Amino acid sequence: MSAAVQQAAPAAPATTRFTQWELIGHGGSADVYKVQDQELGVALAVKILKQDHQRDRRYIESLRREVLISRRLRHPNICPIHDLYEGERGVGIVMDLIEGQDLKGWLKEHRGRLLETMPSRIALLKKLCEALSVAHTLIVHRDLKPANIFLLKGSITNPVVMDFGMSTPDDMDVNGALDGGTPKYMAPEQFTHQHPVDLRSDLYALGLLGYELLTDGQIPPCSLKDVAKTGALPMFDASTIPPPSSFCAAIPPALDRVILQLLDYDPSRRPASAAEVRQVLERTVLLDAFRPAEKGAVQIATATIAADTYVVGERSGSRPCDQPERKVRLAAFRVGLGPVTNGQYRAFIKATGHRKPALLDDPQFGPDSHPVVMVSFEDATAFARWAGGRLPTEMEWEVAARAGQAANRFPWGPDEPEVTHANIDNVSNATTPVGSYIRGTNALGLSDCAGNVWEWCANDWDDSLWKTLPANGELPVSQAAAEYKAIRGGSFDSPLVTGRTSFRHKAPAGQARADIGFRIAFDG
């Protein structure tokens, strides 16, 4: 080929392997981008050091360690890293693109749903123990925390541990290496250097993470989260830390014990390995969170209705479902003087970890003295069981609201309500403190039987209930999750007629509304 021809031939254009850079995450020392790998035809992630760290050999070395560690550790719950990146964007690493969210975001989204997500939270801890058991054959992570645990497709049962760049092989000279660690989750020895940083430091971080996970975001007093301000470690005794079960009654003693052992100041008193912790988790059987509360956990003032024959229903009226008037026999029972309040429900949530109603923190609906609302039939039943009681049947509710007197069309007697009798018919645009309407209190001392909130009853809705009652007048209570349940009493925004003691209504069992609450009953 002639020189002229050679000179005319254009040079082959340089190809750019990674394209379509999209920023998807920020960190203290690096940013993460989603890219398209043109050579392999797949989407990947590239973590690029921030400009300030591009020439710091410690950060460069941390990236190299991540690649080397990943090549030696293969586990489905450890993020795979493929290679170093050096290009126009700077210095970084190439790794799998993991779509989903980190555990920190998941915890925030699921705040107030501790009990219903407890099995998944324990499953996550098991997976973390599996990953750490593998990792600890070679390295110590040194910065285990929710932000470094990514959830594949947002699933808490499919975690991936990230950021092994601060990890330290047991045989590595760490002089000049990055200190690593986040104070909030850091083991005391990482801060004081009084003990070697080894796998037990990761176990301390696992304990703190586990405590946060099992208590719906509570941070134990042993955390070093304020150490930057105070310059000193918090003084604590692990035995004085409130156990996770004090935030969720479903947590058994063995799980309490292992979490608190992980948080021991002395590394030698912590569990010996992640595998040992996993064995405890494997044997964990959640308790019934709604078993009756310890005496004194919640105070429910009650009135007693004696065993007797009582009148329910209406002799005549415009609504067939309220008719006819019938005599029913009831066994003795006790019933709450008022609807369950927000304050009482807060005690239930704190003890059991049950989900928090939507308006519990609302300034208008959420004060302690107001009736709890936005609770489904299931929520009301759970509270009643925890308090050692149950929901009243429709017959019991009506007899109690009438104070046992057939002539009481309203709780206080036969007369139509005035504005001082009840929070009904839009006298107020929201709930009011339980017992505020003293003139509306009946002869047994029951308040709020008309207005304020509708109240769940135990039985399924039956439009023809009074017509079909058996001769003995006993109402069988269905335990099935029927679509509609009976509600009684009217609410703050319902018409006056709903405050009649005989007025019957219904609502879907799964519905949570701002005008529905409940009171509870007890046998005998």
Cα 310 to Cα 395: distance, rounded to the nearest angstrom: 9
pLDDT of residue 179 exceeding 80, the answer is no
| pLDDT in the model for residue 478 | 55
Q: Is 143 a catalytic residue?
A: yes
What digits encode the pLDDT tens for the residues 279-306? Answer: 999 999 999 988 887 777 888 999 999 9
Rounded to whole angstroms, the Cα distance separating 245 from 222 reads 17
Q: In this predicted structure, what is the pLDDT of residue 130?
A: 96
Chain-centroid distance, C-alpha 304: 37
Residue 434: the pLDDT is 97
Inform me whether the pLDDT recorded for 13 exceeds 50.
no
| pLDDT, tens digit (0-9, with 9 covering 90-100), for 457-494 | 999 999 988 888 876 666 656 555 579 999 999 999 99
Q: What domains lie within the chain, and their CATH numbers?
A: 18-96 (3.30.200.20), 100-282 (1.10.510.10), 302-523 (3.90.1580.10)
From 32, 153, 149, 39, select the one nearest 95 (Cα to Cα).
32
Is the separation of the CB atoms in 90 and 51 below 8 Å? yes
Residue 373 clears pLDDT 90, i.e. is over it: yes
Is the per-residue pLDDT at 313 higher than 80? Answer: yes
Average of per-residue pLDDT values in the chain: 88
- Among 84-88, 125-129, 289-293, 315-319, the range of highest mean pLDDT: 125-129
pLDDT-derived band of residue 439, with 50, 70 and 90 as boundaries? very high
How far lies 175's CA from each of 18, 58, 178, 200, 240, in Å? 35, 10, 9, 21, 37
Q: What values do phi and psi take at 87, rounded to 5?
A: -165, -160
Instruction: Please give the average per-residue pLDDT across 193-215, as a whole number.
Output: 92
Q: What is the mean pLDDT of residues 443-461?
A: 97
The predicted structure's pLDDT at residue 276: 97
- Nearest to 211, CA basis, from 157, 260, 276: 260
Reply yes or no on whether the pLDDT at 175 is more than 80: no
| Higher-scoring residue by pLDDT: 344, 39 | 344
Catalytic residue among 143, 322, 425, 448: 143
pLDDT at 23 over 50: yes
16 CB-side CA count, 13 A:
9
Q: Helix or strand or coil: residue 22?
A: strand
The residue-averaged pLDDT of 306-311 equals: 95
Of the chain, the end-to-end C-alpha distance in Å amounts to 109
Over pLDDT 90: what percentage of the chain?
Answer: 65
Contact (CB, 8 A) for 180 and 78: no
Ramachandran region, residue 317 (left: φ > 0; alpha: ψ -120 to 50; beta: rest)? left
Return the closest-CA partner of residue 45 out of 34, 53, 59. 34
Which pLDDT score is estimated for 6? 41
How high is the pLDDT of residue 466?
A: 87
Identify the pLDDT of residue 226: 85
For the beta carbon of residue 198, count every other beta carbon within 10 angstroms.
Answer: 15
3-state secondary structure 271-306: CCCHHHHHHHHHCCCCCCCCCCCCCCCCCCCEEEEC
Bridge-partner residues for 516, per DSSP? 454
* 50 band by pLDDT with thresholds 50, 70 and 90: confident
* Chain centroid, CA 444 distance in Å: 39
Is the preceding peptide bond at 324 cis, omega within 30 degrees of 0?
yes
pTM above 0.75, yes or no: yes
Nearest residue to 210 via CA among 262, 166, 245, 253: 262
Residue 171 has pLDDT above 60, yes or no: no
| Whole-number pLDDT of residue 174 | 37
98-117 pLDDT, tens per residue?
888 999 999 999 998 999 99
**How do beta strands 454-460 and 516-517 pair?**
parallel
- Residue 5, pLDDT above cutoff 60: no
